[in-house]
Amino acid sequence: MLHGPDAIPAALSARFAAFIDDRISDAPLGRTAAPSDLEPLFRGVITAEGLGPDVAWERFVTGVVANNVGLDSERFLAFIPAAPSAAGVWMDAAAGAASFSAEAWLEAPGAVAAENQVLRWIADLMGLPATAGGCFMSGGSIGNLSALAVARESQRGKAVAVADTAHASVGNALRLLDLRDVIVVPTGDDGRFTASALRAALGDRRDLGIIIAAAGSTNAGVVDDLDGLADVASELGAWLHVDGAYGAAALLLPERRALFAGIERADSVIVDPHKWLFAPLGSCALLYRDPSLAAAVHTQHGPYIDVLHGAEPLWNPSDYGYQLTRPATGLPLWFALAVHGTDAHADAVRVGVDLAVAAARHLERLPGVSLVMEPSLSVVLFRREGWDGARWLAWAEQLLTDGVAFVAPSTWKGEPVGRLVFLHPCTPASIIDDIAASLA
């Protein structure tokens, strides 16, 4: 039977619990695999009769777990890593078991109230007004899309300005929203989207409706000129959206807050707790300065869901983003904050910044190696004299094979470069020496 007290044997439940405990204590670096490697491992898994719990679990361990790179590994230094807290992981499992359908207050008032408490904390961290609000979504891509849909409705027929360093999801969202009048503003050597560059790109144009900035670009960890861009937005009556999916968590650090001056003036902003706030995967906090504008765009109506909108004003997360049925993805962060407090989260963020600085100092001393720029947050971009794209890929493959780290080279202004992202608070400082040795 699929349901009921005997659906899963006690021994299998214990295996799940043990797996979670083991994963929390030591996430493996893992491996990548070719399709030909996986085909025999998954052959015959789905059958009419089922394999039974023991064989199914064995296929999970040997087929799935053994053939992934651990995004939560302390040695994952590529893309944007994840380092979910133990409290967050367990609450994620508990919330999944409880099946909170957290799209509406009517169904999940407790879960929504907890999520709103976290949203208020994030809004206060950013300096947004007391009226600000929003919802949790499944990730930064859908968060950007939802925010830009609201911006489009308030700025019909106007142009969009975006830096040449914007995240790929931004371009995809603009395409899906049919926002075709896009001004791509070039950035300088520091990768920063500035007000002066925007003014130069605009020339005499006054029809700018949306400005999209980054509070920590994904590729380089650069925080744009948010205050200056907010000035331009104010002058032209434009909507300022800030993509802080990765970097905005550094607002927790007093020594980095000045980088984000102007974020409090944004009309919409996102940050992904599953990145640098140590929540499990699948979480984006989306906030609006004026949530009523979002509700006018995203509130859904129909015979069976109009009951969600009663006479008393209720906060329905589905009114603020393009997502109806959704799990309570803000609960794991809420629980971790309740267990450990905000200072512990700030200390964990600071580890990544400190490791990036240490790596930068070490790398710039190596012969033939130079920094692309000084790291602002926890991303380090660097050059290796004479290395082309193929050589960088071979370097990354060897590091994974040797179990040192999972890295993913990038490009900067078309030039192949090395890239390291430090996020996991348990990443050993010795990994810097190992990576330096690999560049010799």
- What is the structure's pLDDT at 259? 98
Provide CB contacts within 8 A for 278, sequence distance 6+: 83, 84, 85, 88, 333, 336, 345, 348, 425
Question: pTM score > 0.95 for this model?
Answer: yes
Which residue segments constitute the domains of the chain, with CATH numbers given? 97-340 (3.40.640.10), 342-438 (3.90.1150.170)
The amino acid present at 437, given as its one-letter code, is A
The answer to whether 195 and 185 have CB atoms below 8 angstroms apart is no
Cα torsion 278, 244, 30, 14 to 10°: value is: 30
- What is the structure's pLDDT at 309? 86
- What is the structure's pLDDT at 418? 98
Kind of pairing between the strands at 268-271 and 369-371: unpaired
- Please report which helix (H) or strand (E) contains residue 420, including its range: strand 415-421
The answer to whether 274 and 280 have CB atoms below 8 angstroms apart is yes
The answer to whether 145 and 176 have CB atoms below 8 angstroms apart is yes
- Which string of DSSP letters, residue by residue, matches 37-62? HHHHHHTT-S-SS---HHHHHHHIII
The answer to whether 344 and 169 have CB atoms below 8 angstroms apart is no
Alpha-carbon gap, residue 134 to 205, rounded angstroms: 32
- What is the structure's pLDDT at 245? 98
Q: What are phi and psi of 263, to 5 degrees?
A: -65, -25
Tens of pLDDT, residue by residue, the chain (440 residues): 899 999 999 999 999 999 999 999 999 999 999 999 999 999 999 999 999 999 999 999 999 999 999 999 999 999 999 999 999 999 999 999 999 989 999 999 999 999 999 999 999 999 999 999 999 999 999 999 999 999 999 999 999 999 999 999 999 999 999 999 999 999 999 999 999 999 999 999 999 999 999 999 999 999 999 999 999 999 999 999 999 999 999 999 999 999 999 999 999 999 999 999 999 999 999 999 999 999 999 999 999 999 998 767 789 999 999 999 999 999 999 999 999 999 999 999 999 999 999 999 999 999 999 999 999 999 999 999 999 999 999 999 999 999 999 999 999 999 999 999 999 999 999 999 999 999 98
- What is the structure's pLDDT at 313? 78
For helices 195-202 and 226-236, angle between their N-to-C axes, nearest 10 degrees? 40
The answer to whether 263 and 250 have CB atoms below 8 angstroms apart is no
- What is the structure's pLDDT at 222? 98
- What is the structure's pLDDT at 17? 97
- What is the structure's pLDDT at 310? 75
Q: What are phi and psi of 69, to 5 degrees?
A: -85, 130
